[in-house]
Amino acid sequence: MSNPALSEPENFWTSKLFGYLCGTLGMLIWSGWVVVSRYGVQQTLTPIDITLVRYLTAAALILPFLVNRWMKRGWWHGLSFFQALVITTGIGTPYAVMAYGGFAYAPAAHAGIFINGAVPVFVALLLFLWIRQKVSLNRLISILFLVAGCVLVGWSSFSGDSGQAVWFGDLLFLGAGLFFALYTVSVGLWGVRPAQAMTVVPSFSLVMILIIWLAGFGESHLRMTAVEDWPWEEVIFQAVYQGPIVTLLAMSCFVKTALILGPSKQATFTAMVPAGATVLALLVLGEVPSVETVIGLGVVTGGIVLSLRRSSDA
């Protein structure tokens, strides 16, 4: 008698093929975020404007869930105000303003190198300062790769002949990497649940950016322009991509990839983001990377692979 389980066709939605498709789509969306953000600040909108649009959209998306949790008096359960403020600083408005500010000065390829490359380095530093976690030899080797790649690209920016302050954009990207590392470490050590982060970060971020926007801090085209004269095509484009596509679709893709293929394979797709962003920036924006950037990209990607695979296997 044949075993019915052996004759059942494989479910496509749980197959390895679907896992690889999800990983590829997630990588392309995250790479596209770099290009879309760089394109956005080159048009009419400023970093403050794009941050406002991002969190207005994100808050609208989670509003039904937020109201439900609020009515049950449980949406903030387990998090202090300080903890909510820290994780919002790491992945919310401060991170976004820093990252979008970097796009105003530096090429898209630099964002993938400095933000993605800096996160594992700052995570190791914060873990040592926070809980005195020692750095293993393998992790140290990956950090050396990451630092070497960032220094190579950063030095070429600082010593280049470009009239733009590319090096300043690189520093802003490093700051964004530090913020994201703070988020990564804090949610891990505090055991922050996805539902808590999903409600706290957009709501706190919206309050933060509204205070900045209404108080007149930073340059804002939207603040200085009548609503009917806003560049609505740009606003809607950024809202759609920065909101549901990046916030919901990309994260769902990477979660599904990890569930089907395992954390190690998912980490490989994450490590491909800097290279993907560089290729997309070349094709879409016409930004040709320098030789130093290409070499630095290779070194940083190698360091990210070593770091992520190590943490996935731990």
Mean pLDDT score of the chain, rounded to an integer? 86
Specify burial of residue 244 (Cβ count, 10 A radius: 0-12, 13-18, 19+). middle
Q: Which comes out higher in pLDDT, residue 297 or 10?
A: 297
Place of tokens 């394979």: 265
- 297 — pLDDT class (breaks 50, 70, 90): very high
pLDDT tens profile 107-141: 999 998 999 888 888 988 999 999 998 888 888 99
pLDDT tens profile 256-269: 887 888 766 766 78
pTM value is: 0.86
Q: Which of 86, 93, 97, 67 is nearest to 206 (CA)?
A: 93
The proportion of the chain whose per-residue pLDDT surpasses 70, expressed as a percent, equals 87
AA letter at 179: F
Whether pLDDT at 71 is above 70: no
Buried b (16+ CB within 10 A) or exposed e, 201-239: bbbbbbebbeebbeeeebebbbbeeeeeeebeebbebbb
Could you tell me the two tokens for 81? Answer: 């105000």
Rg, the chain, Cα only: 20
Q: Mean pLDDT across the stretch 10-34?
A: 89
Place of tokens 């993605």: 116
User: Taking the domains of the chain in order of start, what are their residue ranges?
Assistant: 11-313
Q: What angle do CA 124, 172, 222 make, to 5 degrees?
A: 135
Q: Mean pLDDT across the stretch 44-66?
A: 90
pLDDT tens profile 173-230: 999 999 989 988 898 888 887 777 878 888 899 999 999 999 999 999 999 999 999 9
